[in-house]
Amino acid sequence: MRQRDAMIARLRSTGDLWEPAPGLVGLRGETLARFEQIEALVTDLCASETADNWRIPQALPLEVLERSGYFASFPQWLTLASHLSDDAVALERIARSERPARDAAREAAPASAALSPAVCYHVYGALAGTVIDAPKIVTAQGCCWRHEGSRFEPLARGWAFIMREIVCIGSEADCTAFRERGLAIARRLADALGLFGAIAEAEDPFFAPTARGRAILQRLRSLKHEMMLLIGDGETTAAASFNLHECFFGEAFGIRLPDGQPAHSACIAFGLERWLLASLMAYPIGTKRRARERRMLGARA
Amino acid sequence: MRQRDAMIARLRSTGDLWEPAPGLVGLRGETLARFEQIEALVTDLCASETADNWRIPQALPLEVLERSGYFASFPQWLTLASHLSDDAVALERIARSERPARDAAREAAPASAALSPAVCYHVYGALAGTVIDAPKIVTAQGCCWRHEGSRFEPLARGWAFIMREIVCIGSEADCTAFRERGLAIARRLADALGLFGAIAEAEDPFFAPTARGRAILQRLRSLKHEMMLLIGDGETTAAASFNLHECFFGEAFGIRLPDGQPAHSACIAFGLERWLLASLMAYPIGTKRRARERRMLGARA
């Protein structure tokens, strides 16, 4: 059994973690307290960017994703929100059914919104058609959804998970400098948690038939980096990513610089459950709290 | 124009509030700062119940709602999470479509989960089949979804909104006493925010063809109360509810007391956007901050 499977099994047995369905996780007890510590740390560190704080809506119009080229890039992940038909007869049929869950699942009306696959699409959508006079830096935390078939694994890969992002829209130089500051924020976070984070070049898992070329460009131009954290058995997880988009979103959403050129953008994203997983592997719940805090404080100093 | 429509129009014009689609709201600036103050106050007041703190999963198995009788009670509200078929050919057809948003909306696989209509269903689902030795009190905050057709109104009635709940499972006496404490928590919250809250008996909008009887029972037995806050033009909104369920969920989920009888349950729910709306109507953004704080502090003392 992998070390992290043994740890997750312990959390399940104490009730600290439960999974009512694959990819959906609930947290309680000391494990939740640890998650909330990490969440507060990430929030504070991202606020150091003097970023504009947003609370994003819980879903996106499908048109925003269409404009982002999302369907060609990551159709495999897309998760939709739909509701039942407003038709009274159809509602009553489900209400009176002997197996309403099965019938409701089949009878949903066409989806009218997408559950956010990332926080930053909301920012491009909200700033569509605007001119950026000075670099615009936004931070937001939200629940993101990526359907990963049968690859779900508690804390490492969820259908729904919490993401904190900082997004920069401005000139190419603004975005490059922003990414450097983002790397420094992630290093401060790893230090504060007593974790070792290694930066690696990376590429997104673009849908091969229609977007494989974008992954090749990402590699060639070093557009994507990730911070990898140890999660036992010598394996790592990408717990933060540092992304330059060049003028991809500026063009797609008509976000321009004062000279009329499309703006560049960049984003830094933290996957909070993965930070929790790495922290739990390094400092298991139930280790003597005093000793753990000494180690964490030592690493921070 | 109603007073609250004028206020919402001001927030839209300053960019403090935006609505990418009906029922979905984003917040920024001072309005978001106010929301976060309220969120922190509600969290602190609910922690005073020495409740067990949970972070609930972002969706529920449909079977948990079936077990709760949800489909007969509120089918009109149900919101489902679905994803595209895992079939590579179907994904590629959408990825290559000229109108992928439209096609994706139609091609989702049958839904496999429900977006939470309330926080407390997660608690009954997680405690199914257990015996309650001492009253179990849980608190959690989550995003809840209720599709309200064309009745959406920013902050007053969202498709998605934030709910903080405290849930009690125990004997009938435990639940009755808990509801009294919940009323006191809501009064402290209203005082701290300098708002006037009126308690009224209420009933849920049960789906008439199949569950109208439950609304009549709620009224007869005084099972549901709400705290109504003023939102302009002499109108009010239900910003908190105080609900006794008798042994409805105990029976449905096999949650029992030590003597083998089904447990009783009760829940207190706070709709955070509605508290924000009432606060914004009473203390508009842009009023001189010092004067506003004096009024709010005066009310709290």
Q: Is the pLDDT of residue B143 over 70?
A: yes
B214 close contact with A: CB closer than 8 A: no
Please tell me the least confidently modeled range out of A129-133, A171-175, A210-214: A210-214
Q: How far apart are CA B200 and CA B178, in angstroms?
A: 18
Q: How far is B174 from chain A (nearest CA, A)?
A: 23
A130 close contact with B: CB closer than 8 A: no
β-pairing, B52-55 vs B136-145, is parallel
Q: How far is B274 from chain A (nearest CA, A)?
A: 16
Q: Which of A77, A90, A214 lies closest to B86 in space, CA to CA? A: A77
Q: Output the CA torsion sign for B147, B149, B153, B156.
A: negative
What share of chain B in percent tops pLDDT 70? 95
DSSP sequence for A12-33: HHHTSEEEEETTEEEEEHHHHH
Answer with the residue of higher pLDDT: A207 or B149. A207
Sorting pLDDT into bands at 50, 70 and 90, what band is A19? very high
Q: Which of A18, A30, A83, A97 to mutate to test the interface with B (most CBs of B within 10 A)?
A: A83
User: Would you call A106 and B108 a contact, using CB atoms and an 8 Å cutoff?
Assistant: no
Tell me, what's the pLDDT at B286? 79
Round to the nearest angstrom and report the end-to-end CA distance of chain A.
Answer: 35
Tell me, what's the pLDDT at B293? 54
User: Would you call A95 and B60 a contact, using CB atoms and an 8 Å cutoff?
Assistant: no
Residues of B in contact with A32 (CB under 8 A): 53-55
Give the helix/strand (H/E) hosting A60: strand A59-60
Tell me, what's the pLDDT at B231? 98
Tell me, what's the pLDDT at B287? 63
Find the mean pLDDT for residues B197-205.
95
Tell me, what's the pLDDT at A301? 38
ipTM: 0.92
Instruction: Note the pLDDT tens digit of each residue in B76-129.
Output: 999 999 988 888 888 999 999 999 998 888 888 888 899 999 999 999 999 999
Beta-carbon contacts below 8 Å between A and B: 226
| DSSP summary character for residue B105 | H
pTM: 0.93
Q: How far apart are CA A246 and CA A221, in angstroms?
A: 10
Q: What is the CA radius of gyration of chain B?
A: 21
Residues 6+ apart with CB under 8 A from A30: A16, A285, A286
Q: How far apart are CA A175 and CA A169, in angstroms?
A: 7
Extents of the domains making up chain A? 3-79+117-300, 82-112
- Alpha helices (runs of H) in chain A, residue ranges in sequence order: 3-14, 29-47, 62-67, 70-73, 88-95, 100-107, 120-127, 172-192, 208-220, 248-253, 272-282, 289-300
- Would you call A101 helix, strand, or coil by DSSP? helix
Residues of B in contact with A14 (CB under 8 A): none
Q: How far is A224 from chain B (nearest CA, A)?
A: 23
User: Would you call B21 and A94 a contact, using CB atoms and an 8 Å cutoff?
Assistant: no
Answer with the residue of higher pLDDT: A50 or B146. B146
User: Would you call B58 and A91 a contact, using CB atoms and an 8 Å cutoff?
Assistant: no
Instruction: Note the pLDDT tens digit of each residue in B164-186.
Output: 999 999 999 999 999 999 999 99
Answer with the residue of higher pLDDT: A278 or A89. A278
Residues of A in contact with B105 (CB under 8 A): 62, 80, 82, 110-112
Answer with the residue of higher pLDDT: A148 or B132. B132
Q: Shortest CB distance from B80 goes to which of A53, A75, A83?
A: A83
Instruction: Note the pLDDT tens digit of each residue in B212-235.
Output: 899 999 999 999 999 999 999 999
CATH architecture classification, B3-79+117-300: 2-Layer Sandwich (3.30)
- The answer to whether A156 touches A274, Cβ cutoff 8 Å, is yes
**Encoded tokens for A81:** 């929100």
Residues of A in contact with B89 (CB under 8 A): none
**Sheet of strand A224-230, all strands in order from the earlier edge strand to the far edge:** A197-201, A224-230, A236-244, A264-271, A160-170, A136-145, A52-55, B24-28, B17-21
Q: How far is A277 from chain B (nearest CA, A)?
A: 16
Tell me, what's the pLDDT at B300? 45
In sequence order, what are the beta bridge partners of A79? Answer: B83
- The answer to whether A177 touches A188, Cβ cutoff 8 Å, is no
Instruction: Note the pLDDT tens digit of each residue in A153-168.
Output: 999 999 999 999 999 9
Please tell me the least confidently modeled range out of A51-55, A178-182, B175-179: A51-55
